[in-house]
Amino acid sequence: MYCMKEVIRYLMGWPGPSGFGSASTAEQVTQHLSLPPNLTALITGGTSGIGFETARVLAKRGVRIILPARDVKRGNEVRERILRQSPAAEIYVLELDLSSLSSILCFCSYFLSLGLPLNILINNAGKFSRKLQLTEDKYELTFATNYLGHFVLTEVLLPKMKETAKETGRQGRIINVSSMIHKWANREEFHLYDMLKSKDYNATRAYAQSKLANILHAKEIAKQLKEKRVEITINAVHPGIVKTGIIRDHKGFVTDCIFFIASRLLKSTSQGAATTCYVALSPKLEGISGKCFEDCNESSCRGDYDRMARVLWEETHALLQRKLRSRIKHGTIT
């Protein structure tokens, strides 16, 4: 009965406790907010799909945007597109390949050299690789991009977020964009080194595992930040079923048929970006951390395994220590 009620609520777009629901758009959930000046948000995957809509709406609301892009030319085209709608927006396009550890470190070094604050980090970029592909670091592409890249990015930028929160007195926010597909991940197959090497590759499994890892990452970092009384929150969001750029990597007759049949369930890009924008900016979520959100309301996520989250963080931390040949502490790489 509960599941049926939730399905009906989703289809009808009925609002939840937040006052918003599945039919709400990114513009609607941010429309009447009174935001403090000089907010800065870094949004990965902001050149297309949900990421672009998130960047567009936040820029419209006066938030300074940091737009990482593998293709800087395309990133600048997106910047110009946003500026046509919001001429006063401040947007920085910086080169970043999330599948490359060296690229992430170079990006962070350059961003930090700009001396800008960082209030909001939105780990939005996602990859769905139909065939097995390895990164330059010899890791499976989907898991390395969706989880490992965002793990490193978050670690390196945390000190800047802590500094910004302390100087401004405003709580920082980190958002990990996950997916309902995280529920498909098999706990028995969830081992970091196997997922990074992926000898027996399955595209859907790799994607599901990476999205579960995003949730576990949020839960563990939330716990660590709370223990240290750091004024930064981190939450995971599920944007809903949206036909975004990820589907281009899995395009075909079967996929097109599924999306045609399921068209009533699909969200627009603006509806898909609504939860991210809500969690990033809503004053109602002050102090809320380690939670999952769907349709702009708190939801239950499968990744409620404290021990599993801790083990994943420890193994990732150890891996990066060896890989980068440097000492990695929580929130800093030296």
The DSSP secondary structure of 211-258, one letter per residue, reads HHHHHHHHHHHHHHHHHTT-SEEEEEEE--SB--GGGGGG-SHHHHHH
Decide if pLDDT at 225 tops 80: yes
Task: Identify the CA nearest to 320 among candidates 102, 133, 121.
Answer: 102
Task: Identify the CA nearest to 107 among candidates 117, 92, 129.
Answer: 92
Q: What is the pTM of this model?
A: 0.89
Catalytic residue among 2, 193, 201, 305: 201
Residue pair 60/128 in contact (Cβ under 8 Å)? The answer is no
What mean pLDDT comes out for the span 99-109? 97
3 state SS of 38: coil
| pLDDT in the model for residue 176 | 98
- 329 alpha-carbon distance from chain centroid: 22
pLDDT digits (tens, 9 = 90+) for 236-265: 999 877 665 554 455 555 555 555 555 556
Is 110 known to be catalytic?
no
Proportion of the chain above pLDDT 70, given as a percent? 82
Mean pLDDT taken over the chain: 87
Decide if pLDDT at 142 tops 70: yes
pLDDT digits (tens, 9 = 90+) for 288-331: 999 999 999 998 865 557 888 999 999 999 999 888 865 444 44
**Bigger pLDDT: 203 vs 57:** 57
pLDDT digits (tens, 9 = 90+) for 176-192: 998 776 666 677 677 78
pLDDT digits (tens, 9 = 90+) for 24-34: 999 999 999 99
Q: What distance in Å separates the CA atoms of residue 112 and residue 104, rounded to the nearest whole number?
A: 12
